[in-house]
């Protein structure tokens, strides 16, 4: 919790040239408590013109601009956390997209950030100070960590700092990060030739077969179990008012594949949830529905797409490359049991 007090002026003294600072408890990277000026929510420094040790600070309402600037500079690997902050801000509540965020600052600059999301996921970003920020946000949130997500190097650093290397996992695989400038999208022609069509999922779809599809997708790609509790949670998530649109491909009057975007911001869309039932694979359906969704987004203003997929998912990589995607880096996703 941040404690703030105002410095007053002495009665009868001249009016100060500058407004008095606000002070907030914060911590250095070695855990020592200190006090620093937070008059401006965008600044993390103690005093100008000096090199300070790394400081850790819980971000509050008013810090959004500084955090968004930091994330925008790392947009390709910050899509989900950026989307969450824009959607729900920095004040935590146990609602979708909300999170508690701690920044590691050096002077006026944010060097790293760790966010503990409403669903237990730890979202990490940055090059220096990730370890400290991860430890602090878990300490402050008092909630269990269900997984980690972010650039691969940051996930590895945070996992080590939290001593989670030996925790049992449902998913723990290096993911490859791909990007595509949408003007370079290669369309397979299935929709354009009239062999298939696409549409948005309706409420009946979300309450019906898509519950089973989502569970099967998560079981296959993320190793998550199919249980009645997860079935109820999945149905509720799909019917949530803020749920992302789902794109469906139809072939011969049958839904054969699905895709969606798990984050959209700054004209960039991040593909997620691509799945085709096993008995329908090898026919180009997944490639066609992803292309159709990207073509739609391109028409409505998007200019770039990001996605990540498992290092060993060679078939998916081949499909994405055929659409024009190129590998640009590595991403980290760990889900704990």
pLDDT digits (tens, 9 = 90+) for 96-122: 899 999 999 988 789 999 999 999 999
The pLDDT of 311-335, averaged and rounded, is: 95
DSSP secondary structure string for all residues of 39-61: SSTT---SSTTS-PPPEEEE--T
Residue 260 confidence (pLDDT): 97
Q: Please report which residue ranges of the chain form alpha helices under DSSP H.
A: 64-72, 79-88, 130-141, 152-161, 203-207, 209-222, 228-238, 285-299, 314-323
> Has residue 238 got a pLDDT over 60?
yes
Q: For 147-160, how does the pLDDT look when each residue is reduced to its tens digit (9 = 90+)?
A: 999 999 999 999 99
> Has residue 22 got a pLDDT over 70?
no
Given a contact cutoff of 8 angstroms between Cβ atoms, the answer to whether 270 and 77 are in contact is: no
The pLDDT of 190-212, averaged and rounded, is: 94
Residue 12 confidence (pLDDT): 35
Dist. CA 11–CA 34, nearest whole Å: 29
229's tokens: 């509790």
Greatest pairwise CA separation for the chain in angstroms:
86
As a whole-number percent, the residues of the chain with pLDDT over 90 amount to 75
Domains of the chain are 21-167 (3.40.630), 177-332 (3.40.630.30)
Residue 79 confidence (pLDDT): 96
Q: Which residues contact 98 (CB under 8 A, 6 or more apart)?
A: 84, 88, 89, 91, 92, 117, 118
The per-residue pLDDT of the chain, averaged, comes to 86
Dist. CA 215–CA 210, nearest whole Å: 8
Residue 48 confidence (pLDDT): 42
Residue 51 confidence (pLDDT): 52
Residue in the structure block whose two tokens are 């791909």: 178
Dist. CA 116–CA 120, nearest whole Å: 6
């Amino acid at each position: 919790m941040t404690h703030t007090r105002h410095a007053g002026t002495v009665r009868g003294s001249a009016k100060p040239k500058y407004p008095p600072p606000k002070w907030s408890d914060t911590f250095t990277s070695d855990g020592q408590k200190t006090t620093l000026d937070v008059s401006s929510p965008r600044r993390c420094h103690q005093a100008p013109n000096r090199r300070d040790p790394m400081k850790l600070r819980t971000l509050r309402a008013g810090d959004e601009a500084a955090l968004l600037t930091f994330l925008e500079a790392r947009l390709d690997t910050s899509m989900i956390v950026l989307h969450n902050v824009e959607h729900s801000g920095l004040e935590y509540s146990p609602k979708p997209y909300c999170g508690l965020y701690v920044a590691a600052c050096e002077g006026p600059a944010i060097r790293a950030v760790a966010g503990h999301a409403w669903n237990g996921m730890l979202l990490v970003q940055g090059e220096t100070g990730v370890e400290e920020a991860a430890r602090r946000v878990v300490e402050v949130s008092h909630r269990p960590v269900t997984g980690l997500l972010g650039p691969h190097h940051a996930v590895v650093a945070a996992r080590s700092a939290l001593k989670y290397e030996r925790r049992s996992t449902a998913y723990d695989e290096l993911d490859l990060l791909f990007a595509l400038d949408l003007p370079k999208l290669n369309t397979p022609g299935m929709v354009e030739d009239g062999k298939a069509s696409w549409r948005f999922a309706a409420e009946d779809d979300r309450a019906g077969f898509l519950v089973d599809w989502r569970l099967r997708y998560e079981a296959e790609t993320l190793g998550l179990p199919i249980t009645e509790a997860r079935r109820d949670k999945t149905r509720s998530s799909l019917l949530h008012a803020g749920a992302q649109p789902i794109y469906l491909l139809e072939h011969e009057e049958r839904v054969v594949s699905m895709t969606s975007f798990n984050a959209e911001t700054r004209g960039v869309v991040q593909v997620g949830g691509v799945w085709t039932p096993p008995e329908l694979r090898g026919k180009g359906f997944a490639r066609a529905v992803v292309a159709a969704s990207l073509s739609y987004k391109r028409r409505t203003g998007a200019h770039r797409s990001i996605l990540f997929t498992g290092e060993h998912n060679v078939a998916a990589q081949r499909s994405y490359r055929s659409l024009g995607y190129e590998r640009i880096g590595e991403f980290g996703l760990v889900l704990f049991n």
